[in-house]
Amino acid sequence: MTLLRILDYAHSLMEDSLTEGDIAVDGTCGNGHDTLFLANLVGETGHVYGFDIQPDAIANTKARLEEHDAYVQTSLIHDSHANLSEHIHNDHHNQIQAGIFNLGYLPGSDKSVVTKPEETIASIESLLHQVKKGGLIVLVVYHGHPGGKEEKEAVLRYVESLDQKNVRALQYGFINQKNTPPFIIALEKQ
On the 0-12 / 13-18 / 19+ scale of CB atoms within 10 A, 179 is exposed
Q: How far is CA 136 from CA 1, 50, 57, 170, in A?
A: 24, 16, 24, 11
Q: What is the pLDDT of residues 78-121, one digit of tens each?
A: 999 999 999 999 999 999 999 999 998 767 776 777 788 899 99
Q: Give the model's pLDDT for residue 146.
A: 82
**Mean pLDDT confidence for 141-150:** 86
Task: Give the 3-state secondary structure percentages of the chain, helix then strand then coil, rounded to 5.
Answer: 40, 25, 35
Q: For residue 50, which phi and psi values (nearest 5 degrees)?
A: -115, 130
Please state, for a pLDDT cut of 70, what percent of the chain lies above it. 98
**What does pTM read for this prediction?**
0.95
Residues with Cβ within 8 Å of residue 17, at least 6 apart in sequence: 97, 98, 135, 136
Beta carbons of 47 and 75 less than 8 angstroms apart: yes
pLDDT higher than threshold 80 for residue 160? yes
> What is the spatial distance between Cα 105 and Cα 161, in angstroms, rounded to a whole number?
26
The stretch 27-45 carries a mean pLDDT of 97
Residue with more model confidence, 164 or 114: 164
pLDDT of residue 144: 78
Mean residue pLDDT across the chain:
94
| Long-range contact set of residues 65-73: C-beta below 8 Å, sequence gap at least 24 | 65/32, 65/35, 65/36, 65/39, 68/36, 68/39, 68/40, 70/36, 70/39, 70/40, 71/39, 72/44, 73/39, 73/42, 73/43, 73/44, 73/45, 73/46, 73/47, 73/48
Residue 132 has pLDDT above 90, yes or no: yes
Measured in degrees and rounded to the nearest 5, phi and psi for residue 96 equal -75, 130
Q: What is the CB-side half-sphere exposure of residue 147 using CA atoms within 13 A?
A: 12
Dist. CA 85–CA 69, nearest whole Å: 27
For domain 6-112, give the CATH superfamily.
Vaccinia Virus protein VP39 (3.40.50.150)
- Residue 26, pLDDT above cutoff 90: yes
